[in-house]
Amino acid sequence: MKTERQASISKILIPLDGSSSAEHAVDYVIRHMDTLKQPPTLLLLNVQWKIATGNVKLFINQDTINDYYREQGMAALQQARVALDEARLSYQYHISVGTPAEAIVQYAREQEVDQIVMCRQGEGGLKTLLLGSVVAKVLHLAECPVLLVK
Amino acid sequence: MFSAPQFWADVVKIIMIDLLLSGDNAVVIALACRNLPPDQRRKGILFGVGGAIGLRIVLTFFAVSLLALPYLKLIGALLLIWIGIKLILPEDEHTESNIKADARLIGAIKTIIVADFVMSLDNVLGVAAAAKGNVSLLVFGLLISIPLIAWSSQLVLKLIDRFPYIIYAGGALLGYVAGEMLVSEVLLAPLVEAQHQLHWLIPASCALLVLVIGKWLAMRRLVMSEVVNLVDGKVSVMPDKQG
């Protein structure tokens, strides 16, 4: 558990998967910026599934694989970056490769964020049942408060 | 045939093997075509997927006819046990290719076909063993694997993330199928006929063997797949307060 160093929220992490619902979280943060005393540091994160494993690495070199991750990751961050640029807010962005929920929680820990803001995904149904939801896993693993935006 | 429980059990086995050993064909196809000029990219993907499917069909029937020969079932079973163990083992991070990404269509297709050949072997062997010479099961196995070749393999990653034990089930299944192949090996036929309980005892022991060796090796290697930090960027806007 993280100790309460500061009373106010100074670092917010917004994980993005490139879906339009994920952008709700960004919109929410932009709209509620005024309610915070200090403008917080905004961190955007996209996690790419590590699709290139063992066999793939035999045939494709790491540079090509990394270029692919980078391209996919930047595309997923694009919409949020445009929104933040328009709102004239500073932010940091980050792309990591791994399992989404674990990577989100790990990054939040490394950066000592005060809050994770995510969208409660509207996917639902069979897909969530079979594949699980990143949100549920983050809620379970996170060491800081998680704000779910509808 | 369709009402026999054994048939449906085989169908489930084949779906499972297809899923877990679907390989990374889709990834290799996408990545190999990345450096092509845009107008050739579609062509490359099309040829790549087509070639992969064709190769899969040829290899499957090749495997089936090979497995009909004596002794080869023995080798096939040993290979399957090894494939099962490898499925359970965590990724070895140290393999890395130094093949230069080819910017020509022919080079990309060559990469895809060679990769398909190597990555299809485990799947083909597993499906051939599970089908036990039943042609409709073989064709079914091929049909299931085709969308898996063409689509992204994120599906499998997500499944394993959601149900981590699926790889143990898959490993045990491969061991079991290997055992079934051993039982049907002509060389062992006199022994199996004499001791009837071997019909389930051998497959069960093979499944257990895969689990035990796989788990043991996995514990020795014990490295969690790490999160890799790829891009770190910062955009600063100083609207009002400067200096």
More confident site: B18 or B222: B18
Residue at B231 is within a domain: no
- Chain segment A42-90, per-residue pLDDT in tens: 999 999 988 877 678 888 888 888 998 999 999 999 999 999 999 989 9
Work out how many domains chain B is built from and give that number.
Answer: 1
Judged against a pLDDT cut of 70, whether residue B101 lies above it is answered with no
More confident site: B26 or B81: B81
State the pTM of this model: 0.80
Judged against a pLDDT cut of 70, whether residue A123 lies above it is answered with no
SS3 B215: helix
Interface contact flag, A55 B24, Cβ < 8 Å: yes
Q: Which residue has the tokens 């996170």?
A: A142
Q: Average pLDDT over chain A, rounded to whole? A: 85
Q: What structural domains and CATH numbers belong to chain A?
A: 11-149 (3.40.50.620)
Give the residue from chain B lying closest to A93, CA to CA: B233
Q: How far apart are CA B163 and CA B166, in angstroms?
A: 6
Confidence of residue B92 (pLDDT cuts 50, 70, 90): low
The reply to whether A109 touches chain B by the CB within 8 Å rule is no
Q: If you average pLDDT over residues B209-224, what whole number do you get?
A: 82
Q: If you average pLDDT over residues B206-211, what whole number do you get?
A: 95
CB pairs under 8 A between A and B: 138
Range of the domain at B71: 5-221
Residue at B239 is within a domain: no
Q: If you average pLDDT over residues B37-62, what whole number do you get?
A: 87
Q: Is the ipTM of this complex over 0.85?
A: no
Q: How far apart are CA A13 and CA A114, in angstroms?
A: 8
Buried b (16+ CB within 10 A) or exposed e, A115-131: bbbbbbbeeeeeebeeb
Residue at B233 is within a domain: no
A128 chain-B contacts, CB cut-off 8 A:
none
Alpha helices (H) in chain B, listed in sequence order: 5-20, 25-32, 38-67, 72-88, 105-131, 135-150, 154-162, 166-183, 189-194, 198-221
What DSSP element (H or E) covers A147?
Answer: strand A146-149
Residue at B228 is within a domain: no
Residues in CB range of B175: below 8 A, 6 or more apart: B80, B81, B84, B203, B206, B207, B208, B209, B210, B211
Q: How far apart are CA A99 and CA A111, in angstroms?
A: 18
